[in-house]
Structure 1
């Protein structure tokens, strides 16, 4: 007989089940079983149904967890700001690649056509913009573009470069993304306008 799981408040139990289910959903998709989830969470299978009405509700909670922007924003705000522009921007790109790769994998395994409906949050967008400005402010004199534009290019490349369906399986690394954004692909800048 397995040891009884520690008593948790309902919200804590729910979070623990979702955390345990996440890697299983990424591996098995909708075919994941409540028996697998219970074993991973260290609880009896019946405990799941005290928190979630059905297994599909567990999977939907996992989807919402993966698409939740709050953990990403907290990671962005806590990102190490030390080092060169390349080093800081590479950390941002890696954070974005990791997030997008996780999202794409979940969407693929579950056959999702897009993200779940969520309330658009101006607060999230403002926090992301503030974090981006803070990360790039020390390097403003090294940039020809506003920080907002630099981050937009990083995000676009991280999004497309981390999607194996777009990259033909050749995923872009964070360093490659940063090199493309900061240096481009041209060997040298052509003369312009009477240079």
Structure 2
């Protein structure tokens, strides 16, 4: 409850958000925050961890009906993942702007690196599930296509910097290019 109330404030005000603002948003007294967290830093760390978790995104992807056409399934998945990336980016940017950086785990210590790899694997498996009903009509294995699809989607954020006017490619366009490629129909030779 406290973290959920703090996340939008963190995006709006950055790490300088006060515990009083968070308490008001959560509908609790400020002292209650310090019964749940030892200090503001621990609360901010909990907010960052919550923003990076993808459990809710995986649950949303699991709710995508498999009887929809493939393009509709992938468009819904792309929109869901895009919204997650935007939320995650907003929170991490707010923390970074305030000079707070998430402590990086060393490989093999069971920390953030391992959990990030697990999150990526689980996301890929969710996309594989969405591709599976069409396995027989696809040119490549669904596991490989899931990696390609996620690469296109995740790369879309960085690509906006080089796009005309900084515009972002709509998810519908991304799905269309993923499914149909970039080459148009050949000209009629007649």
TM-score, length basis structure 1? 0.78
Matched, 1:25 2:20: no
Equivalent residue for 2:68?
Answer: 83
The runs of 4+ residues in structure 1 deviating greater than 6 Å are 112-115
Aligned length: 175
Matched, 1:39 2:33: no
Question: Secondary structure at the residue paired with 1:188?
Answer: coil
Question: Secondary structure at the residue paired with 1:81?
Answer: coil
The answer as to whether partners of 2:128 and 2:146 remain within 8 angstroms in 1 is no
Deviations along 1:5-48, one digit per CA (max 9) or x if unpaired, are: xxxxxxxxxxx100000110111111111111001000011110
Equivalent residue for 2:152?
Answer: 157
- By how many angstroms is 1:123 displaced? 5.9
- By how many angstroms is 1:173 displaced? 1.9
Structure 1 gaps of 5+ residues are 1-15, 191-195
| Residue in structure 1 matching 2:57, options 72, 77, 93 | 72
* CA–CA distance in structure 2, aligned partners of residues 30 and 89 of structure 1: 35
Structure with bigger helix share is: 2
Equivalent residue for 1:185?
Answer: 182
TM-score, length basis structure 2? 0.79
The answer as to whether partners of 1:136 and 1:147 remain within 8 angstroms in 2 is yes
